[in-house]
Structure 1
Amino acid sequence: MAAKKTVAQPATTSGSPVPAAGIAAQPDTLAVLPGEEPWTPEEVEEARSELLSEVERLKSGLASSEAAVAGLMRDGGDSTGDEADTGSKNITREYELALAANTRETLVQADHALQRLDEGTYGLCEVCGNPIGKARMQAFPRATLCLDDKQRQERR
């Protein structure tokens, strides 16, 4: 049974219930599961702060990975090593490429979470529109799916 959507009606300003980009949503407009306490301004700020810190950390990590990949690509043309050295370089290069791709995807998710926070849709499942749950959002601020839809996604 899906949880019912519990969202306080946002105050309308200039005819639009959704804040303009860059304007933080009011905490009482963010979705919670039945029985959960509404978001407090401090909790919203903590989520935003955590996401902003993660974005900065990911950007730094991505720059390091890209620099490592560039160095490995530059050194990859050096054919003076034996086959074991070449294989090791290839494995390292593939690892760095995968790490950069993973970091890039996580960065996109964190940016998306910040955008949803600004729009007031943070905490709503992107599939069914039901609340994800405040506790889940606090544990995993980049979540975009409720538990039911996440489980369905993982079974596919």
Structure 2
Amino acid sequence: GRRAGGRATTGDGGGTHDTAGRGTATGADAAGAAPQTGATTVGAKKTPGTATAAKTAVPKARPAAAEPGDLAVRPGEEPWTPEEVEEARAGLMSEVLRLREEISSSERSLAGLMRDSGDGAGDDQADTGTKNITREHELALAANAREMLTQSEHALQRLDTGTYGLCENCGNPIGKARMQAFPRATLCVECKQKQERRY
């Protein structure tokens, strides 16, 4: 976005541009910055495939994971051991793989249901109703699996950054026992209870 009056504005790419046409590029902007001409800024075109390629690319090497002893625990709990951290990581990784398979299986089922619903000629209302219920059920299962997948991937990132076991609301330790029981937990018991009372 650009504002009149010579004030600096921030473009979509994160660089700042002033209204005289001078620009300072940052991050991804610097690599593909187009030449500056007079009072207009010509931005590099973003190809639609870039975002998808980033998601499907081979995962980069894991950043240096936080030391197991650095992960948060509640007072009175033993620190995380390397074995416990590896067990949590392995459990989350296998959950991610299982959920991805479940999602693609649901998507295949849904594709079949959508194909079949097109030729409903001759179906009575009960058949149509059953097909609709089955489709709604598959959609709900797929949505639930996607949500759990997101939570599992988030937990793995938190393990890598050393924030695993910290409440995302209050910043206090969630507790090792709770994390071992619910590896995807992001809130301490107190914050979780407050959240549930609100709904």
Q: Give the count of matched residue pairs.
A: 137
Letter in 2 for 1:50: G
Q: Does 1:74 align with 2:115?
A: yes
Structure-2 residue corresponding to 1:85: 127
TM-align CA RMSD: 1.1
**Cα offset, 1:21, TM superposition:** 5.6
Unaligned runs of 5+ in 1: 1-19
Structure-1 residue corresponding to 2:180: 138
Query: Quick one: distance in 2 between partners of 1:23 and 1:89?
Result: 49
Counterparts of 1:109-148 in structure 2, within 5 Å, are 109-148=151-190
Return structure 1 stretches of 4+ with deviation > 2 angstroms: 20-23
Query: Quick one: distance in 2 between partners of 1:46 and 1:125?
Result: 21
Q: Give TM-score, length-normalised by structure 1.
A: 0.86
Counterparts of 1:95-114 in structure 2, within 5 Å, are 95-114=137-156
- Give 2:67's match in structure 1, choosing from 26, 30, 39: 26
CA shift digits 1:47-87 (9 cap, x unpaired) = 00000000000000000001111111111111221111000
Query: Quick one: distance in 2 between partners of 1:134 and 1:21?
Result: 23
Query: Quick one: distance in 2 between partners of 1:22 and 1:86?
Result: 51
Structure number having the greater helix percentage: 1
Q: Does 1:149 align with 2:188?
A: no
Moved more, 106-115 or 68-77: 68-77
Query: Quick one: distance in 2 between partners of 1:107 and 1:22?
Result: 21
**Cα offset, 1:110, TM superposition:** 0.0
Unaligned runs of 5+ in 2: 1-60
Q: SS at 2:160's partner residue?
A: helix
Q: SS at 1:61's partner residue?
A: helix
Mark the structure with the bigger radius of gyration: 2
